[in-house]
Chains A and B, each alone.
Chain A
Amino acid sequence: KAGVTQTPRYLIKTRGQQVTLSCSPISGHRSVSWYQQTPGQGLQFLFEYFSETQRNKGNFPGRFSGRQFSNSRSEMNVSTLELGDSALYLCASSVSGRDTGELFFGEGSRLTVL
């Protein structure tokens, strides 16, 4: 079955712009998590969605937002981009996001902010 699909894979934006990233989870997976990966900070948790509800959120400013649709696809949005937002944004899905849930990752969306 198809894996986690993230689009776009690469994008370049300038400061002040906004960006929307998309994630399609594995069929049947209802939980989607987002992570920001940078060389200095590693993998930082952004938020997790299950059945269109955000269940947890990391320590990121309000410029970072997300949502999940009824088909479990998820989007994240970053508004008013800053240079420091340049990163690999990873989406991961799991069956239910319960405590024992292993994560299945997409290949990521690499964002460069100029």
Chain B
Amino acid sequence: AQSVTQPDIHITVSEGASLELRCNYSYGATPYLFWYVQSPGQGLQLLLKYFSGDTLVQGIKGFEAEFKRSQSSFNLRKPSVHWSDAAEYFCAVVHTGGFKTIFGAGTRLFVKA
């Protein structure tokens, strides 16, 4: 069965520092992968997506993610974190043929001044 693992429940980084959020997936073929962000009291917003092609994808708000098939990973990165990036981040994979998206448990990001 398809699954998504985000091994870090929460991460704290200093403002201006770099960020990497980890995501591993279990899937038999090339997956369709997404990162979403959820601010407190809000719904989820798409940051970026990977379908095929270039394995480094750019998203909104300065985020990028790299698809590594050999490691079954799709880690999210940002070179310099801003206080407004504090939120919960979800990695997700589309369940092909099943018309549903499967989400990881989420990683809550805290940003300290």
Q: Is the CB of A106 within 8 A of B43?
A: yes
The reply to whether B105 and A105 contact each other, CB–CB distance below 8 Å, is no
Decide if B46 touches A99 in the complex (CB within 8 Å): no
Question: Is A24 interfacial (CB 8 A cutoff)?
Answer: no
Contact of B103 among A42, A97, A102, A108 (CB under 8 A): A42
Residues of B within 8 A of A4 (CB): 43
Cβ of B42: which chain A residues have Cβ within 8 Å of it? 107-108
A99/B32 in contact, CB under 8 A: yes
A103 touches B104 (CB 8 A): no
> What A residues does B41 contact at CB under 8 A?
107
| Contacts A43-B90, A107-B42; A99 near B100 (Cβ below 8 A) | no
State the CA gap A35–B38 with chains docked (Å).
14
Contact (A45, B101) CB under 8 Å given A90-B43, A101-B94, A103-B44? yes
Stretch at the interface among A48-56, A66-74, A78-86: A48-56
Nearest CB of chain A from residue B100's CB, rounded to whole Å: 5
Judged by a CB distance under 8 angstroms, whether A33 is at the interface is yes
Tell me, in angstroms, the Cα distance from A89 to B102 when the chains sit together: 16
The bracket for how many chain B residues form the interface is 20 to 34
CB <8 Å contact, B43 and A42: no
Q: Are A103 and B46 in contact (CB under 8 A)?
A: yes
Give the residues in chain A near B14, CB-CB below 8 Å.
none
A28 sits at the interface (CB 8 A)? no
A105-B43, A107-B41 as given contacts; A99 in contact with B96, CB under 8 Å = yes
Most chain B beta-carbon neighbours within 10 Å: one of A58, A97, A105: A105
Binding site for B on A (CB under 8 A): 4, 31, 33, 35, 42-43, 45, 48, 50, 55-56, 58, 90, 92, 97-108
Contacts A/B (CB < 8 Å), 12 sampled: A33-B101, A43-B106, A45-B101, A56-B98, A58-B100, A90-B44, A92-B43, A97-B99, A99-B32, A100-B32, A100-B94, A105-B36
Residues of B within 8 A of A (CB): 32, 34, 36, 41-46, 49, 51, 90, 94, 96-106
Starting from the known contacts A45-B101, A106-B43, 9 additional A-B residue pairs (CB-CB under 8 Å) come to: A33-B100, A58-B100, A90-B43, A92-B43, A99-B32, A99-B96, A102-B46, A107-B41, A108-B43
